[in-house]
Amino acid sequence: MSAGENIRVALAGNPNSGKTTLFNALTGRLEHVGNWAGVTIEKKEGELKKSLNKTNKNITVVDLPGAYSMSPFTSEESITSDYVRNEKPDVIINIVDATNLSRSLFFTTQLLELEVSVVVALNKSDLTKKKKTRIDVKMLSELLGCPIVETVSTKSSDNGLEELVSTVISVKSNKQVAPFDSKGMNASERSSVEAYDKKRYEFVKEIVSKVEHRQISSNKQTRQDAADRILAHKWLGIPIFAAIMWMVFSISQVYLGPLLADILGGWIDAFYAWVEGLLGEGVSPVLSAILLDGIIGGVGAVVGFLPLIMVLFFLLALLEDCGYMARVAVVMDRFFKKVGLSGKSIIPMIIGTGCGVPGIMATRTIKNDRQRRTTAMLTPFMPCGAKLPIIALFAGVFFDDAAWVGTAMYFMAIGIIIVGALLIQRITGDKHTRSFFIMELPEYRFPSIKRATISMFSRAKAFIIKAGTIILLSNAIVQIMQTFDWKFQVVAEGAESTSILASIASPFAILLIPLGFGAWQLAAASITGFIAKENVVGTLAVVYGITNFIDTEEFVLMSDGVGVAGALGLTSVAALAYLMFNLFTPPCFAAIGAMNSEMEDRKWLWGGIAFQFSMGYVVAFITYHIGTLTTAGFVGTGFIPGLIVVAAMIGYVAYLVKRGNEKAERKLAHSV
Amino acid sequence: MESVIRNRHITRELNRREGADAPLMNLTQAKVNTEYVIKEIRTNDKELKDFLFTLGCYEGETVTVISVLADNYIISVKDARYSIDKDLTNVIII
């Protein structure tokens, strides 16, 4: 073997067998992991960590999405089989879940036929011991004809990884003989494939009966099953989920988050003062305003929320890691199915709580076009990481950091998704299509603090990078547009409404009057939100000249004696309406781009965007007017024109639903 | 001697018929915690059938209902737990 040789190692295995965890351990990368099936959607590549690579070769590791089978006709997980077949990696590490040999080895025997060297990583080997299951690894290795290394990819030491790597290097050029003979199979004929697959299962069963010694049969009731009956209970499931989310929000926004945010806020203030001092008196006020209020103030306002978001991401990562999310999917399925969504629609939405873009991309695994497009259209309603600063800001300023605001926004999003799906199902006239739901329930485990910390920091890093690039640029531009009028004259104090920003945003502001927030500043913030949702907070900071939203004293008392709430000039009800408007209008351009590529249809894309706009508008309208009516006893300003707009939107949707129903009846008549 | 053989034959024949006539149960009628052998996956949806197959859920294999949660059934197939909905439970004939 020559120096500098390249070795490509592919990781393949069943969903939730721990491929990405192993990938991260091998490469030192920080890809997102979760204790449920289907977290990885696309293949990812990384170089083997220096500390594990004792050779001078370049070893590239490729993480593939989980697959149960490579049989023709199961196109379900085609990325994996296409990669292995077409790109021919040098070695495949087949990650086998040691707790479920009888299913996993089916895929293993298929991989062994590919004429690529295979090393089996018998993962989760710590769990088998706990279950009093003994596996004769030596015999298994002999029966399969390939080397096997026991691994525990979740542990940071004594995890079998070094042995795995050295086995991979040593095995590189010796291809194994496939233990199961499928030469007679006719891959183009369904019945032949089915017959051989059955034989293959028989073959696997025989191996398992030889090497596995279980003391406790896997179909016996366990404490985990008892936990499922409560956590995924018909009626208890949702209140439990709500209580957990409420706890997550109260820790991140009321207790721990603000504590950390105060410290960070102090640093930002100090930095602001330091730069201000550095600039001195001689610098032009315009330049210093762009630098101080635009860049440091705007970006600082967004970054100020970082601690809150980090705590939230940490807690969400713990939830994902312990296996609870799969149970949430089970609880939600009941509602999702009634509105014609696929059981798989839940996964994009859970991913969407981090960022909408990968969430929308996760819809790719949904086969049915309507279900996939509907899910791609509705996933952005989930409050993503970028929307959290907006929630945190409004919860802090108007609702005294109440944890219910965030919780309510999540459930509001779920409600909107269900209503939206129902409408789309009716509009498309597809209400007689049935969908099936099947979800593997991973075992509960104690969540790992380390993994949650890693996940938190990698998301925080992405957040900071975004703040330092897109958001910095946006805020600088907003500041410039606010400082100058169309003649490029500096706007005089008191004449802010003549600025470029004000004149662009004002026409939009008129449309927002019926929603309770017709100020051009608020309209401008919503518009910049389409570039990145964090911009809503950043722009508000810039246009109102607020540097630090987190500082509790500043909430109450700003320089001119009014609180932030006063500066924004909103009632609590209007603030809530504005918050919802920003959460439930179309997402940022990046997410719209993702919608475009997953929907693959212009009509759906524009329909989707129009739908999202209408939804945000209607929700904000209803919130503002019903809220004002109950708190003040009269409807808010602009009720009548707003009502006309909302009625027109609802009327049009109703017309589409009626047309869709007719289509459905015709379809049904045809099929009978 | 001959009658014994005949009898056996008759019993076997009867058993066979009984098997054919016995009302087929689907998994929704299964008792919890009882192992059943899958007789058939009765669906026209090829993709679904193939997917269930890859999980090891096909005729001749055993399945156990662990819990019933409203419209979802928690089942044990091979060594894993799955949550499946009622529609899906209906197509698994035991």
A429 or B61, higher pLDDT? B61
CA distance B43 to B65: 20
Please check whether residues A122 and A241 belong to one and the same domain: no
Inter-chain touch A225–B46, beta carbons under 8 Å: no
Please check whether residues A504 and A403 belong to one and the same domain: yes
Residue of B nearest to A68 (CA): B54
Structural contact between residues A80 and A40, judged by C-beta atoms closer than 8 angstroms: no
- Partners of B69 in beta bridges: B72
Closest CA of chain A from B70, distance in Å: 5
Domain end (from A199, A214, A229): A214
B14 or A568, higher pLDDT? A568
Measured in whole angstroms, the distance separating CA A390 from the mean position of its chain's CA atoms is 17
A40 marked ligand binding residue? yes
> For residue A242, is it within any domain?
yes
A16 marked ligand binding residue? yes
Please check whether residues A210 and A245 belong to one and the same domain: no
Please check whether residues A330 and A459 belong to one and the same domain: yes
Structural contact between residues A630 and A621, judged by C-beta atoms closer than 8 angstroms: no
Please determine, for residue A29, whether its predicted confidence score (pLDDT) is greater than 50: yes
CA distance A462 to B45: 42
Average pLDDT over residues A415-432: 88
A136 marked ligand binding residue? no
What are the backbone angles phi and psi of residue A517, rounded to the nearest 5°? Answer: -140, 65
> For residue A60, is it within any domain?
yes
Closest CA of chain B from A241, distance in Å: 16
Lowest mean pLDDT segment, chosen from A644-658, B22-36, B72-86: B22-36
> For residue A59, is it within any domain?
yes
pLDDT of residue A589: 92
CA distance A329 to A326: 5
Mean pLDDT score of chain A: 85
A547 marked ligand binding residue? no
Number of folded domains that form chain A: 2
Please check whether residues A479 and A581 belong to one and the same domain: yes
Q: List B residues 8-67 in contact with A (Cβ-Cβ < 8 A).
A: 33, 35, 45-48, 50-56, 58, 60-62, 64, 66-67
What are the helix (H) ranges across A172-255? 190-211, 223-231, 237-250
Inter-chain touch A101–B76, beta carbons under 8 Å: no
* pLDDT more than 90, % of chain A: 32
CA distance A556 to A567: 10
A24 marked ligand binding residue? yes
CA distance A231 to A329: 11
Residue of A nearest to B46 (CA): A73
* Length of chain A (residues): 672
Please check whether residues A289 and A199 belong to one and the same domain: no
Average pLDDT over residues A300-324: 88
Structural contact between residues B2 and B57, judged by C-beta atoms closer than 8 angstroms: no
Domain end (from A155, A181, A214): A214
Please check whether residues A156 and A304 belong to one and the same domain: no
A100 marked ligand binding residue? no
Mutate to test the interface with B, among A437, A443, A444, A671 (most CBs of B within 10 A): A437
Please determine, for residue A618, whether its predicted confidence score (pLDDT) is greater than 90: yes
What are the helix (H) ranges across A467-512? 472-483, 500-512
Please check whether residues A330 and A274 belong to one and the same domain: yes
What are the pLDDT digits (tens) for A243-273? 998 898 888 877 888 788 888 888 888 888 8
Please check whether residues A173 and A95 belong to one and the same domain: yes
> For residue B10, is it within any domain?
no
Structural contact between residues A456 and A310, judged by C-beta atoms closer than 8 angstroms: yes
Residue of A nearest to B50 (CA): A74
> For residue A267, is it within any domain?
yes
Inter-chain touch A438–B85, beta carbons under 8 Å: yes
pLDDT of residue A291: 84
> For residue B17, is it within any domain?
no
Structural contact between residues A346 and A378, judged by C-beta atoms closer than 8 angstroms: no
Please check whether residues A381 and A508 belong to one and the same domain: yes
pLDDT of residue A579: 95
> For residue B4, is it within any domain?
no
CA distance B79 to A187: 28
What are the pLDDT digits (tens) for A433-484? 667 778 888 889 888 898 889 889 988 898 899 888 888 999 889 888 988 8
CA distance B27 to B68: 11
Closest Cα to residue A320, out of A445, A462, A151?
A445
**Residues from A in contact with B at Cβ < 8 Å:** 68-69, 71, 73-74, 76, 99-103, 106, 194, 197-198, 201, 218-219, 221, 224-225, 228-229, 232-234, 326, 329-330, 333-334, 337, 343, 367, 434, 436-441
> For residue A231, is it within any domain?
no
At residue A569 the predicted structure's pLDDT band, cuts being 50, 70 and 90, is: confident
Structural contact between residues B81 and A440, judged by C-beta atoms closer than 8 angstroms: yes
Inter-chain touch A103–B71, beta carbons under 8 Å: no
Closest CA of chain A from B11, distance in Å: 30
> For residue B18, is it within any domain?
no
Please determine, for residue B20, whether its predicted confidence score (pLDDT) is greater than 60: no
A41 marked ligand binding residue? yes
Please check whether residues A125 and A252 belong to one and the same domain: no
Question: Structural domain of residue A194, as residue ranges?
Answer: 6-214
CATH code at position A60: 3.40.50.300
Mean pLDDT score of chain B: 78
Please determine, for residue A581, whether its predicted confidence score (pLDDT) is greater than 90: yes
Please determine, for residue A70, whether its predicted confidence score (pLDDT) is greater than 90: no
Interface confidence (ipTM) of the complex:
0.79
Inter-chain touch B67–A229, beta carbons under 8 Å: yes
Number of folded domains that form chain B: 1
Question: Structural domain of residue B68, as residue ranges?
Answer: 24-93
> What are the angstrom distances between the C-alpha of A334 and each of A74, A615, A633?
26, 23, 38
Closest Cα to residue A62, out of A34, A37, A26, A32?
A26
pLDDT of residue B7: 47
Please check whether residues A199 and A247 belong to one and the same domain: no
pLDDT of residue B17: 46
What are the pLDDT digits (tens) for A151-198? 988 887 778 888 999 898 888 777 777 888 777 777 777 788 888 888
CA distance A276 to A274: 5
Please determine, for residue B13, whether its predicted confidence score (pLDDT) is greater than 70: no
β-strands B62-69, B72-77 pairing = antiparallel
CA distance A55 to A112: 26
CA distance B61 to B63: 7
Inter-chain touch B69–A198, beta carbons under 8 Å: no
Residue of B nearest to A438 (CA): B84
Inter-chain touch A436–B48, beta carbons under 8 Å: yes
Q: How many CB atoms are closer than 10 A to CB A59?
A: 24
Please determine, for residue A401, whether its predicted confidence score (pLDDT) is greater than 90: no
CATH code at position B34: 2.30.30.90
Inter-chain touch A232–B83, beta carbons under 8 Å: yes
Average pLDDT over residues A209-215: 88
Chain A interface includes B68 (CB < 8 A): no
Please determine, for residue A557, whether its predicted confidence score (pLDDT) is greater than 50: no
At residue A548 the predicted structure's pLDDT band, cuts being 50, 70 and 90, is: low
